């Protein structure tokens, strides 16, 4: 097998990733000697990454959405992929991780970065609980966000407004759930939860800047909790989330921590994890500093004018 393996999820983005790869494969083959795998499902994707690592592969490139990148990252972290470079070519619905990494939006530039670009060390989040155990790179969240993911993933043709439409639909359905949240072993929040974001990256839901000051390489989570919000406040606050101007709003709390403990006091909807859903329940989140090596340009902190 070649030293670079490309994992293509042809169904990502409602089929957009498959069409993208058909157009871009000739360019990819001029940039690097590659082996291409189009797995049929998540289990096949995990096997493909494991086989690539066993064969001595030094770079694994994910072509698809945030879920494809999430799957490849988990396979690398659990399969002895230390030192293996992960490339990301965003071709899905949200592509929020690529946004946080500063990966070019132009397809050819993103492909060049993924296949032949230099790399940076990126933190990973690790989650452990009775119902779920996983790693994540961008954001894990609880509350309304799981309903949004379910709605988006059920859309056959997603389009540019998929996350906005799913968010508006979830707002009509969701009812706040009581929870207890601890940061670094100290109680931090107890009460009704609209949203809890444990953020390594800055955005989710196709550009919602839920944690605008988060860094992917500082060894800390940015934790954002939103308590109960009235209907009229939601109308006002939603545009603020896209702009990253919500952190000082009345129902919002924000802090940074290395460890986060979530204890639901009533059943929660599924978790949103890098655009995928996982069962909710009592969960412990910890940062794994520099756990992944990803093909991206060196980070410029104070992103988009934000400072720490």
- Residues recognised as catalytic: 276
CB-count burial class (<10 Å; 0-12, 13-18, 19+) for 175:
exposed
Q: Within the chain, where are the H helices?
A: 16-31, 42-54, 66-78, 96-101, 107-116, 144-153, 162-173, 231-243
Distance of alpha carbon 55 from alpha carbon 75, whole angstroms: 15
Q: In what order do the strands lie in the sheet with 271-273?
A: 252-257, 221-226, 195-199, 139-143, 271-273, 276-278
Neighbours of 298 (CB within 10 A): 10
> What whole-number distance in Å separates Cα of residue 143 and Cα of residue 145?
6
C-alpha to C-alpha distance for 258 and 143, rounded to whole angstroms: 21
Find out whether 268 and 249 touch, Cβ atoms under 8 Å: no
CA distance 10 to 65: 10
Residue 108 to residue 130: CA distance in whole angstroms: 42
């Amino acid at each position: 097998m070649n030293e670079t393996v490309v994992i293509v999820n042809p169904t990502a983005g409602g089929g957009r990733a498959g069409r993208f790869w058909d157009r871009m494969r000739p360019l990819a083959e001029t940039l690097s000697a590659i082996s291409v795998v189009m797995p049929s499902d998540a289990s096949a994707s995990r096997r493909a990454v494991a086989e690539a690592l066993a064969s001595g592969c030094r770079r694994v490139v994910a072509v698809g959405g945030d879920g494809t990148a999430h799957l490849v990252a988990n396979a690398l972290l659990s399969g002895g992929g230390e030192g293996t470079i992960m490339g990301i070519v965003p071709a899905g619905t949200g592509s929020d991780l690529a946004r946080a990494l500063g990966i070019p939006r132009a397809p050819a530039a993103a492909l060049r970065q993924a296949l032949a670009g230099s790399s940076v060390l990126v933190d990973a989040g690790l989650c452990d609980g009775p119902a779920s155990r996983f790693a994540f790179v961008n954001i894990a969240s609880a509350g309304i966000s799981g309903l949004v993911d379910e709605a988006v993933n059920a859309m056959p043709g997603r389009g540019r407004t998929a996350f906005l439409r799913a968010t508006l639909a979830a707002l009509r359905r969701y009812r706040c759930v009581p929870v207890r949240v601890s940061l670094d072993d100290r109680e931090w929040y107890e009460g009704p939860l609209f949203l809890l974001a444990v953020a390594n990256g800055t955005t989710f839901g196709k550009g919602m800047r839920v944690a605008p000051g988060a860094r992917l390489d500082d060894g800390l989570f940015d934790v954002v909790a939103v308590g109960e919000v009235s209907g009229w406040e939601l109308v006002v606050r939603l545009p603020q989330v896209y702009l990253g101007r919500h952190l000082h709003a009345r129902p919002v709390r924000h802090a940074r921590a290395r460890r986060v403990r979530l204890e639901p006091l009533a059943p929660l909807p599924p978790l949103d994890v890098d655009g995928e859903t996982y069962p909710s329940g009592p969960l412990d989140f910890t940062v794994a500093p520099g756990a992944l090596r990803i093909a991206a340009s060196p980070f410029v902190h104070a992103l988009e004018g934000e400072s720490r």
